[in-house]
Amino acid sequence: MTKEELKAFALQIGLEAAGVARPTPRTGEAYGQWLAQGLQGEMEYLQRQAVLRQNPALLFPPVRSVLVFAKSYRSVDPLKLTPSNPFQAVISRYAWGQDYHDLLRKDLERVVAFIHERTGGIHQTRIAVDTAPVLERDFAAQAGIGWIGKHTNLLNRRQGNWLFLGVILTSLELEPDHPVKAHCGSCARCLAACPTQAFLSPYVLDARRCISYLTIELKGPIPYSLRRLIGQRIFGCDDCLAVCPWNRFATPSSEAGFYPRSRLLTTTLLEWMTLTPEEFRACFHDSPVRRVKRRGFLRNVAVALGNTREAQAVPVLCKALRDVEPLVRGHAAWALGEIGGEEALRELNEGLRAEKDAYVRGEIEMALRQIRGGREEGNHFLRAGETSSGFSASVDFNSSGKDRLASC
């Protein structure tokens, strides 16, 4: 089987690009420096799997070629979905439809079947769709699918940066492709667009400040100093991706499963804040959003509601102040402190009297200081107790509440 046959088949089944890279062990100098600076935040698995990520032969000893595939998820332009009302939620485009892990994997399974058919099934393969310690983006660049932009994402001249990547490690040896030249030039729109200034320099992202990290990867409290910058984003952020000029050449995705579900774009923050465990499971059972679990999702929604500064949000936040999850209660308290008013003050005082959790009590006390006009005092109180992960209180935010099963 030739490389050309493989690429032709990939395009035939709806993939936008395919390429071949050598499984050459990477020195990983830049990656190692990034990890050494702690810029990965609490993503400890990146450090733990660093050696495997730099050498696919350690992950899959028979590997002779790394086959890389790209699939577009471009649908509605996020720039045209700027919140038109104070309670409109903002969710990253990649999570608008079905889980890309499942959809892209099905495509790669078809590619594997094609390889076996053409080679008599003599070659071994392993599929990775963001599910194994493989540097997909780096191998995609080596395979000539695109180049790594200043925002650290892969860019393709025909499809911009709205691409999912999948990899097949295989014992089949094919002629590798050549990397392409970068075409960012002097453009720095992506760096300027970041709401939290998470880019330390071109190509260097401090994940600890990235809204996608804060609303997805971070399991505990969101650092106080970054909460207001999150705005109404409740799952991920597309700002650096959306402004890239190369996106103007991208064609809409052929995968219907990547297009937005109406409820995801029309449900307001007020409605999301009342989501029960049963509703969360039913609504996100096949969505990337399920990864953050209900407690993480409602944490994010509470922050977004606080950022609206709208009194209409107070009743749902007061209800959230009695949620089973400490993480939700704590961020609801912060949001009430941001909005203020007599009702918020009364509920926070009542909550403080009933609350047993040390972390939540700290959030309530800070919210009360905020409402009572002690903004600077409250900020100082929090900064003194904050750690790199957000707070000094010892709380297990990975423990799950007792969920009930129902339908949405």
Strands 163-170 and 125-128: antiparallel
| Closest among 147, 153, 148, 111 to 128, alpha carbons compared | 111
Tell me the torsion sign for CA atoms 184, 137, 142, 49: positive
Contact indicator for 364, 355 with CB cutoff of 8 Å: yes
Q: Estimate to the nearest angstrom the gap between the alpha carbon of 375 and the chain centroid.
A: 31
The distance in angstroms from the start CA to the end CA of the chain is: 48
> Any bridge partners for residue 185, and if so which?
none
> Any bridge partners for residue 165, and if so which?
70
Contact indicator for 214, 229 with CB cutoff of 8 Å: no
Side chain identity at residue 14, one-letter code: G
Using DSSP, state whether 43 is helix, strand or coil.
Answer: coil
The one catalytic residue in 77, 99, 102, 130 is 130
> Any bridge partners for residue 169, and if so which?
66, 126
Active site residue 177: no
Tokens of 81: 């979905």
Q: Report the catalytic residues.
A: 130
